Amino acid sequence: MISSIPKWVGNLFEGALRPNMKVIETSYIRRRIKLVRFQGDIAKMDFQIGYANVIRVSETELRNYTVALCDTKNGILDFLFHIHGNGVGSEYIDTLEVNDEVYISPPRGKRLFSPEIKQQLFFGDETSIGIACSALPVLKKNKHQYHFFFELGDENRDVPQLLEIDNVTVFSKKETFRNELWVRDLSIFQTPDWKQASFVLTGNVKSVQTFRKVLKDKTIGKIRAQGYWLEGKKGL
Ligand X SMILES: Cc1cc2nc3c(=O)[nH]c(=O)nc-3n(C[C@H](O)[C@H](O)[C@H](O)COP(=O)(O)OP(=O)(O)OC[C@H]3O[C@@H](n4cnc5c(N)ncnc54)[C@H](O)[C@@H]3O)c2cc1C
Fill in the DSSP letter of residue 166. -
Quote the least distance from Cβ 131 to ligand X, whole Å: 7
Judged by beta carbon, residue 51 or residue 194, the one nearer ligand X is 51
> Residue-wise over 201-214: b if at least 16 C-beta within 10 A, else e?
bbbbbebbbbbbeb
Cβ-closest position to ligand X: 87
Burial of 95 (0-12, 13-18, 19+ CB in 10 A): exposed
Quote the least distance from Cβ 11 to ligand X, whole Å: 21
CB-CB neighbours of 161 under 10 Å: 11
Task: Put residue 99 in one of left, alpha, beta given phi > 0 → left and psi -120 to 50 → alpha.
Answer: left
Judged by beta carbon, residue 75 or residue 109, the one nearer ligand X is 109
Quote the least distance from Cβ 148 to ligand X, whole Å: 15
Judged by beta carbon, residue 51 or residue 146, the one nearer ligand X is 51
Quote the least distance from Cβ 83 to ligand X, whole Å: 8
Judged by beta carbon, residue 6 or residue 232, the one nearer ligand X is 232
Judged by beta carbon, residue 57 or residue 197, the one nearer ligand X is 57
Q: Which of 97, 112, 144, 76 is nearest to 222 (CA)?
A: 112
> Residue-wise over 10-25: b if at least 16 C-beta within 10 A, else e?
beeeeeebeebbebbe
Q: Which residues bind ligand X (CB under 6 A)?
A: 52, 57, 63-66, 79-82, 84, 86-90, 109, 126-127, 130, 226, 228-236
Quote the least distance from Cβ 235 to ligand X, whole Å: 4
